[in-house]
Amino acid sequence: MQKQRIFTSAFLFLFSSNFLTFIGFEMLLPILPAYLISIHASPFQVGLVTTVFTIGAIIIRPFVGYYLVDHHRKGLAIGAGVMLLMITFMYPFLSTIWLFLLLRFFHGVTWGVSTTANSTMAVDLIPKTRLGEGIGYFSISTTVGAIIAPSLGILIYHSFSFQLLIYSSVILCLLAVIALQFVDSAEPVKHEKQPFRFIEAIFEREVWFQALLTVMTTLGFGAIITFLVLYGEQRGLDQIFLFFLINAIVSTLLRPFTGKWFDKTGPWSIIIVSAVVGFLSLIVLSYATNNGMLIIAAILFGAGYGTVMPCLQTWTVQKVSEAKSGAANATFLSSFDIGVGISAFTLGLLAEWISLEMIFRVVSISFLLVALFVYKDAKRTRKNNHM
C-alpha cells in the first residue's frame, strides 16, 4: 500500500510560514535587552522582558487549545500573524519602559496563539500513520529558524540600526501571513466540548507526564541559550556560533531517521537513547577547551535534544483524541516556555555560587532523569499490555 504523503503543498506553505515567523521573532531576542538599556531600563526591567512575554504566552494557550476543538485553525493563525506584524512594528515608537513591557505581554499572548494554531494545523495535515516523522520534519521550521535568527538579528543591529531590524522582522511576519493564505486546512470536526476551566486547561491532564518530560528536557536548552556565549568568552572559544550551526544541521539531518524510528517502535526507545546522548553533550561541553570539543558537544546536542523534543511533541498529540490536539499542543508549548523560564531563573541564581562548567554538569542530570522516567513508563506499559 502506498504511503500517504507528508510533503503536500499545504504542509510546505505552513512549514514556510512557521519558519519565517520564528526567524522574525527570534532575531529580536538578543537585541531587546541592549535596546532597553539604551532607553535607560534598569536590570530588573530588562529581566522582565522575558518574564512578561512568557506569562502572556502561557495564559493564552489554554484558551486557544479550547477554541481549536471545533473552530477553524487557519483563520486564527492568520489573525495572530497579522497581530504579530503590528506589535513588532510598534517597538521603535515606545520610549516608556512600562509601555514597552506591556507590549511584550501582548506579544507573548499573540505568540502563544500563533504557535499553537500553527502546530495544530500541522497535526491536521500530517498522515496519522506518519505523525512522528511529519512532526519531526515540521519542527525543523522551529529549531532551524530559532538558531539562524539570533545571529541574523545581531548582524543587522550592529551593521545598521534597531529600526532596520524591526522592519526586517515585520517583512518576515508579512511573508509568513502571505504563505498561510495557501494552506488548505481541513474544517474541524464538531465535537461536544466540556465546560472551560482555566486551571485544568493550563495542562491537559491526559498528557501531564509528557508535559513534565518537556519541562525537564528544556532545562538543558535553557542553560545553552542563557550561558553558552558567556561560557565561550570565559573559555576562549571564539567560534561559539559553530555550536548553534552544527546543532541545527545534525538535528535536521537526523529527522527522517528518527521520525521513522518513532513511528515504528513508539516513543520509549528513541527518547531514552536521545536523552542519554543529550546528557553526554552537556558533559562534553562542560570540559570544552577548544573548538573541536565544542563541535563534538554540538553534534551530540543536536542528536540528543534535537531528537527528544519532536518526539515528545508527537507523543503528546498521540495521547489525546483528535478533538484535543489543540489543547495537547498548547500544553506542550507552554511546558517548553515554563522549562526555559525555570532554567533561566534557577540557573541564574545558581551561577552566583558555582562555575558555568558546573552549571552544565548539574543541568545534564535532567536528561538522565528523563531517560529514567521514560524507561519506567516503558516497563509499566509493557506490563499492562501483557496483563
Q: Is the pLDDT of residue 192 over 80?
A: no
Question: In which region does residue 266 sit, left (phi positive, over 0), alpha (psi from -120 to 50) or beta (all else)?
Answer: left
Q: What is the pLDDT of residue 152?
A: 83
Residue 348 lies in a domain: yes
Q: Are residues 28 and 158 in the same domain?
A: yes
Q: Are residues 159 and 215 in the same domain?
A: no
Q: What is the average pLDDT value for the chain, to the nearest integer? A: 86
Q: Are residues 178 and 205 in the same domain?
A: no
Residue 115's domain is classified under what CATH number? Answer: 1.20.1250.20
Total structural domains in the chain?
Answer: 2
Could you read off the pLDDT of 236-282 as tens digits, one per residue? 887 877 888 888 889 888 988 898 899 899 999 999 999 999 999 99
pTM given for the model:
0.76
Show which of 125, 152, 182 is a domain's final residue. 182
Can you spell out the DSSP letters for 220-241? HHHHHHHHHHHHHHHHT-TTTH
Grid cell in block for residue 87: 506589535
Cβ–Cβ under 8 Å, residues 71 and 189 = no
Could you read off the pLDDT of 14-65 as tens digits, one per residue? 999 999 999 999 888 767 777 877 888 776 676 677 778 888 888 898 888 7
Q: Are residues 159 and 209 in the same domain?
A: no
Residue 133 lies in a domain: yes
Can you spell out the DSSP letters for 111-161? HHHHHHHHHHHHHHHS-GGGHHHHHHHHTHHHHHHHHHHHHHHHHHHHHT-
Show which of 182, 210, 232 is a domain's final residue. 182
Q: Are residues 57 and 104 in the same domain?
A: yes
Q: Are residues 299 and 344 in the same domain?
A: yes
Mean pLDDT across 162-170: 94
Residue 138 lies in a domain: yes
Q: Are residues 234 and 377 in the same domain?
A: yes
Can you spell out the DSSP letters for 321-366? -GGGHHHHHHHHHHHHHHHHHHHHHHHHHHTTTS-HHHHHHHHHHH
Grid cell in block for residue 238: 571564539
Q: Are residues 150 and 214 in the same domain?
A: no
Show which of 132, 149, 182 is a domain's final residue. 182
Could you read off the pLDDT of 126-135 as tens digits, one per residue? 988 888 888 8
Residue 1 lies in a domain: no
Cβ–Cβ under 8 Å, residues 315 and 267 = yes
Q: Are residues 24 and 70 in the same domain?
A: yes
Q: Are residues 342 and 376 in the same domain?
A: yes
Residue 193 lies in a domain: no
Q: Higher model confidence: residue 139 or residue 43?
A: 139
Residue 4 lies in a domain: no
Residue 145 lies in a domain: yes
Mean pLDDT across 317-343: 81
Q: What is the pLDDT of residue 1?
A: 43
Q: Are residues 240 and 126 in the same domain?
A: no
Residue 3 lies in a domain: no
Cβ–Cβ under 8 Å, residues 145 and 18 = yes
Domain range for 69 is 9-182
Closest CA to 277 of 205, 367, 352, 211: 367
Q: Are residues 211 and 176 in the same domain?
A: no
